Amino acid sequence: MNVRGLLDILKAEDEFEGFIRAADEARARGVGDCVHLRGLIEFSNYCRKDCLYCGLRRSNAALPRYRMAPGEIVEAALEGARMGLGTVVLQSGEDAWYTAGIIEKIVGSIKEQSGLAVTLSVGDRIKRDYALWRRAGADRYLLKHETSDEALHWTMRPGCGLGDRLRNLEWLMDLGYEVGSGIIVGLPGQGIESIARDVSFMRDLGVHMASAGPFIPHAQTPLKGCEPGSVDLTLRVIAAMRLELPWANIPATSALGTLDPLAQLTALGCGANVLMPDITPGPYRKMYEIYPGKVGSLETPAQSFARCRKIVESAGLAVGTGQGGCARLPGRAGRSMANDWTDRKDA
Ligand code: SF4
């Protein structure tokens, strides 16, 4: 589907029900009726970057900062395995304290002691680091491009070009990771055309995982006082992603559940097939404040896990077993977007 077709879907009014039904059917055909639970461990809230929309930005001096010790991270992952999870997602701000070697050892230790799939989400690094972690056993990597609108990207992520993100995404694909990208819906200055282009961008890149979460303003950022993103539009984006990327693992994001307690359940009927219970140990979970009031931040890991299971059951779907990887083989499947971007820049 071209961008105009996607735009029609995102704006659809009369045909909205049919569109959602089609996305739900595409989910059943593409990835089946199981919802995979990924245990999220947010191990450091230090970040060297200064994204305007994010509470972890380095300029936020009001946020108490923490780092989990490597052994604590491994133990949290093993606890996730004992709960019955098949995947852990190790996520942090861009924190250079965790050298490539430290992350390599954490990944290796988890892989040695469990059958878990390990997803990393630690931001922009050099290709050698990504390669080291892949060799240590990391299976997947999440690196959201946030917005493919080049000017908006530059404004929202000062000092960070879209082209660099694209290059990193392609490195990750070349290294054989299952690769995830994603967007924020409702950033100030973001048009609906740009969101349609984001969906088409992720399809063309051939990502294995795709996510969309609504923008939620944080009081300690320059975007405080801006309107949050629309839950309805985010659900439409999820449905459009499912239609365009039938093979992909697509989460019902926590940001949706933060704005509307029923929205993650609704998202499972719009094509989503993943939930991410937060299994970060108690003392830290409230401090990973990308946006305020995150759903589940006052729960224990076991309560987050139980709430996610309940959402799946309420949707009439089954909780997936095993690692729940993408059926599409790792590696670069789509066309080179970084080259496209470079060509445009040079034209
Ligand atoms: S969005 Fe990521 S890179 Fe940007 S400030 Fe937040 S944690 Fe750091």
Domain of 337, CATH number, reads 3.20.20.70
pTM of the model: 0.95
What average pLDDT does this structure show over 62-90? 98
Q: Which uninterrupted H or E stretch holds 130? A: helix 127-136
Looking at ligand 1, which residue's alpha carbon is closest to its atom 5? Answer: 57
Looking at ligand 1, which residue's alpha carbon is closest to its atom 7? Answer: 93
CA 310 – CA 316 distance, rounded (Å): 10
CA 294 – CA 128 distance, rounded (Å): 34
Q: Is the CB of 160 under 6 A from ligand 1?
A: no
Q: Is the CB of 37 under 6 A from ligand 1?
A: no
State the chain's mean pLDDT as an integer. 93
CA 234 – CA 199 distance, rounded (Å): 12
CA 1 – CA 4 distance, rounded (Å): 8
Q: How far is the CA of 52 from the centre of ligand 1 (A)?
A: 9
Q: Percent helix, strand, coil in the chain (nearest 5)?
A: 45, 15, 45
Q: How far is the CA of 241 from the centre of ligand 1 (A)?
A: 23
Between 327 and 126, where is the model more confident? Answer: 126
CA 190 – CA 192 distance, rounded (Å): 7
Neighbours of 347 (CB within 10 A): 5
Q: Amino acid identity of 150? A: E
- Nearest atom in ligand 1 to 47's CA: 8
Count CA within 13 A, CB hemisphere, residue 5: 9
Q: How many domains does the chain have?
A: 1
Predicted local confidence at residue 334, as pLDDT: 59
> Structural domain of residue 111, as residue ranges?
3-346
CA 27 – CA 81 distance, rounded (Å): 26
What average pLDDT does this structure show over 215-224? 98
The dihedral region occupied by 284, where left means phi > 0, alpha psi between -120 and 50, and beta the remainder, is alpha
Q: How far is the CA of 49 from the centre of ligand 1 (A)?
A: 6
Question: 64: closest CA among 300, 296, 288?
Answer: 288
CA 105 – CA 107 distance, rounded (Å): 5
Between 7 and 53, where is the model more confident? Answer: 53
Predicted local confidence at residue 344, as pLDDT: 45
- Nearest atom in ligand 1 to 57's CA: 5
- Nearest atom in ligand 1 to 290's CA: 6
Q: Which uninterrupted H or E stretch holds 74? A: helix 70-83
Q: Phi/psi of residue 198, each to 5°?
A: -60, -45
Report pLDDT digits (tens) over 87-131: 999 999 999 999 999 999 999 999 999 999 999 999 999 999 999
Q: Is the CB of 54 under 6 A from ligand 1?
A: yes
Q: How confident is the model at residue 62 (pLDDT cuts 50, 70, 90)?
A: very high
The SS3 assignment for 152 reads helix
Structure token pair of residue 100 = 């490539």
Structure token pair of residue 186 = 């409702």
Q: Is the CB of 123 under 6 A from ligand 1?
A: yes
Q: Are the C-beta atoms of 217 and 224 separated by less than 8 Å?
A: yes
Angle at 160 between CA 150 and CA 237, to 5 degrees: 50
Looking at ligand 1, which residue's alpha carbon is closest to its atom 2? Answer: 93
- Nearest atom in ligand 1 to 45's CA: 7
What average pLDDT does this structure show over 58-71? 98
